[in-house]
Chains A and B, each alone.
Chain A
Amino acid sequence: MIALLASILAITLRAGTSLIYATIGEIYTERSGILNLGLEGMMLMGAVSAFATVYYTGSLLLALLVAMLTGIILSSIHAFLSITMRANQVVSGLSITLFGTGFASFLGQRLGPESNGHYLIGLIGNKFTPVKIPFLSDLPVLGALFNQDILTYIVYLIIPAAWFFMYKTRAGLNLRAVGESPQTADAMGINVFKVRYIYTILGGTLVALGGAHLSLSYAPGWTDNITGGRGWIVIALVIFSMWNPSRAIWGALLFGGINAIQFRLQATGTTISAPLLNMLPYIVTIVVLVLMTWVETMNKKVGAPAALAVPYMRGEK
């Protein structure tokens, strides 16, 4: 039983890592009032660029940097279109997803070595491996927390840091103000455009890192559509977490955990219908989402930034 719990916890954390990166990134972007639906495409681009880099250079650090750069480029496009050009954010985000999905697949067929028909698929590169933390990793069950790869350890730090920054610092207050009421923020002397640019690009960087975790650690290597729709799940998880970074972890772990548990249930030879079990992570996410939104509405504090997806122009009411 202890071994089972430990294995579920371990896989949940590993599965949740990429989701947490992307969720926190998107929370920051949306808090500034910009909706980025390009997550799926950005995660895929992050994954393919990271793997291509690690395959040729062997450097995991460089791979992370390249993935971050990819995220910066793609989110800059989105920022330019939705902040400067005040384009429809849904359309801009969706086209980034379309573009990213197609282009990542294209790169996966062109960046590989000639010996593999220029495909990246099927190649083996360096990858992040679990690093045991002495003593702590020997704990029963909880030891699984301390036998993870570096990217997961970083998550342990990012979550409290992201929460602290958003709620306990002046910059975090400015960020929230811009997302709630850009006019007021502007009147107070906050540069709305700058703030939105910064957090859209920061968010995109984290999203691309989430993609890189997939191709460098979770399922090392490149395969077409490696995200399998995780970018869309993240959008649900952002709502689930009510735009609060500290809650992001629960959504990601719930989704990853139920997936891990349902496969383990199947492995015990249960007679529960497999398609039903496969649907569980999605069903639970939706149900909890609805319940939480309902509870929050009761408390009159729905977390969506009031100016989300609304373009801002100075002097307009």
Chain B
Amino acid sequence: MKKALVVFIAVLFILPVALFAGGAKEQGAAASGGAEKFKVAFIYIGLPGDLGWTFEQDQGRKMIEEQLGDKVETTFVENVPEGPDASRIIRQYAQKGYNMIFATSFGYMDPMVEVAAEFPNVYFEHCSGYKTADNMATYFGRMYQARYLSGLVAGKAIGQGESIGYVAAFPIPEVVRGINAFTIGVRKVNPTATVKVVWTNTWYDPVKEREAAVALLDSGVKLIAQHQDTTEPQKAAQERGLVSVGYDSDMGKFVGDSVLVSPKWHWGSYFVKTVQDAINGTWKTHSYWGGLKDGVVQLSDFSPKVSQEVKDLVGAEQKKIIDGSWDVFWGPVKGQDGKVVVADGSKMADGDMLGMNFLVEGVVGSLGN
């Protein structure tokens, strides 16, 4: 009797655990009917409602559905940890007959390479990595271009020579590029300003990211910028009556006018094109790295606190980048110690940008190496 009760309670208890554990919840239409539909699956690191990284990937997924309509069917799975679990989930979708799988975080790269080799007829798209295969492409965006533009806004928003706090994620090239481009933008309009960097070694830890922002604010910075996917640093700045620059998505929508502008992702047009190519049979493996020109990276709308003069300046700089007459890491670029890294008149190659491991003049902080 007692044993039966134990078993009953265990089942009662484990049932919801099995349903919700890990939060790996599947959504989307069941795979029934319309056998000729092109089926696309998305693997998310967080939640589509995170207001940041995954939110924008999900906006891209929705655009596929809007633009390709009946031809496609999409689904997603959220909160997938990077590592062995990821390969299990990617494999599961390949086995279920999905035609194309998007893995939207760096740590899914190796699991995806592994699964891609097992399923040569499935198309794989991986975000922000560097490994490709015949049936696996990689995609990312030149966020540094939008970061530079947001740096111009930030540099104009503080007094000459004042400092800005940058809550940084991990000391990897993607983040370093962002800090450098932002700082170049700041110093273009505010030559003696500095950008103080604090690393959290997190992508998503609301409490820690807030603590880092508060530490910067206590050290006297006048503006906060960030690289993580929570809005906490923005809120911390707002509570001090200061302004900030967002990231990932239009953070101003969630925090308020104190967010001057946010460099943001806009994946839709790329997603639609690559899915369309796969449907047409013209898909080839590639390493896509689009910029402002393609619209993969953008600036959000400006806060009402940004003056017309600044908007015009940003518009002019954006035009130069889009028409290719200038880019952020064209010489002269000076390192933290004042030495020239990219000489006047030369342009930094994509390969060097992808492996960037130095900080530019004006950054206060270190890469810890």
A: residues with CB less than 8 A from B are 3-4, 7, 11, 15, 77, 80-81, 85, 87, 95, 98-99, 101-103, 105-106, 108-109, 116-117, 119, 121-122, 214, 218-221, 223-228, 230, 259-260, 263-264, 266-278
Add 12 more A-B contacts to A101-B22, A223-B204 (CB < 8 A): A87-B10, A106-B25, A116-B49, A117-B49, A219-B206, A228-B206, A260-B211, A269-B196, A274-B365, A274-B366, A274-B367, A277-B199
Query: How far does the Cβ of B339 sit from chain A's closest Cβ, in whole Å?
Result: 17
Query: How far does the Cβ of B163 sit from chain A's closest Cβ, in whole Å?
Result: 10
Query: How far does the Cβ of A283 sit from chain B's closest Cβ, in whole Å?
Result: 14
Query: How far does the Cβ of A92 sit from chain B's closest Cβ, in whole Å?
Result: 8
B342 at interface, CB cutoff 8 A: no
B171 at interface, CB cutoff 8 A: yes
- Output the residue of B165, B197, B215 with the most chain A CB within 10 A: B215
B216 at interface, CB cutoff 8 A: yes
A266 adjacent to B20 (CB under 8 Å): no
Q: Which of A98, A273, A278 contacts B17 (CB 8 A)?
A: A98
B6 adjacent to A85 (CB under 8 Å): yes
Interface 0/1 of B170-203, CB less than 8 Å to A:
0100000000000000000000000011111110
B residues 339-367 with Cβ under 8 Å of A? 364-367
B: residues with CB less than 8 A from A are 5-6, 9-10, 13-14, 16-17, 19-23, 25, 46-47, 49-51, 79, 165, 171, 196-202, 204-208, 210-212, 214-216, 218-219, 221, 230-232, 235, 254, 364-369
Query: How far does the Cβ of A260 sit from chain B's closest Cβ, in whole Å?
Result: 7
- With A264-B218, A267-B198, A267-B215 known to touch, is A95 a contact of B47 (CB < 8 Å)? no
Main secondary structure on A side of the interface with B: helix
B13 adjacent to A224 (CB under 8 Å): no
A99 adjacent to B17 (CB under 8 Å): yes
B364 adjacent to A99 (CB under 8 Å): no
Q: Which of A4, A11, A106 contacts B20 (CB 8 A)?
A: A106
A269 adjacent to B254 (CB under 8 Å): no
A-B pairs with beta carbons under 8 A, tally: 151
B9 adjacent to A81 (CB under 8 Å): yes
B16 adjacent to A121 (CB under 8 Å): no
B254 contact set on A, CB distance < 8 A: 122
Across the interface, name the chain B residue whose C-beta is closest to A262: B215
The CA-CA distance from A277 to B197 in the complex, in Å, is 13
The CA-CA distance from A140 to B368 in the complex, in Å, is 35
Query: How far does the Cβ of A117 sit from chain B's closest Cβ, in whole Å?
Result: 6
B214 contact set on A, CB distance < 8 A: 11, 263
A122 adjacent to B51 (CB under 8 Å): yes
The CA-CA distance from A7 to B218 in the complex, in Å, is 7
A103 contact set on B, CB distance < 8 A: 16, 20
Can you give 7 A-B contacts (C-beta < 8 A)?
A105-B23, A105-B47, A108-B49, A122-B49, A122-B254, A264-B215, A264-B218
The CA-CA distance from A264 to B5 in the complex, in Å, is 54
B219 adjacent to A276 (CB under 8 Å): no
- Output the residue of A223, A269, A272 with the most chain B CB within 10 A: A223
Q: Which of A85, A108, A224, A266 contacts B9 (CB 8 A)?
A: A85
A224 contact set on B, CB distance < 8 A: 23, 46-47, 50, 79, 204
A98 adjacent to B21 (CB under 8 Å): yes
Q: Which 4 A-B pairs have the closest CB atoms?
A: A102-B20, A273-B368, A263-B215, A274-B199
B219 adjacent to A264 (CB under 8 Å): yes
The CA-CA distance from A270 to B22 in the complex, in Å, is 38
A274 contact set on B, CB distance < 8 A: 171, 198-199, 201, 365-368
Q: Which of A7, A227, A275 contacts B368 (CB 8 A)?
A: A275
A226 adjacent to B206 (CB under 8 Å): yes
A226 adjacent to B197 (CB under 8 Å): no
- With A106-B23, A122-B51, A122-B254 known to touch, is A263 a contact of B198 (CB < 8 Å)? yes
A278 contact set on B, CB distance < 8 A: 199-201
Across the interface, name the chain A residue whose C-beta is closest to B16: A99
A218 adjacent to B199 (CB under 8 Å): no
The CA-CA distance from A214 to B207 in the complex, in Å, is 8
B232 contact set on A, CB distance < 8 A: 219, 223
Across the interface, name the chain B residue whose C-beta is closest to A222: B206
A77 contact set on B, CB distance < 8 A: 13
Query: How far does the Cβ of B205 sit from chain A's closest Cβ, in whole Å?
Result: 4
A214 contact set on B, CB distance < 8 A: 207
B366 contact set on A, CB distance < 8 A: 269-274
B365 contact set on A, CB distance < 8 A: 266, 269, 274
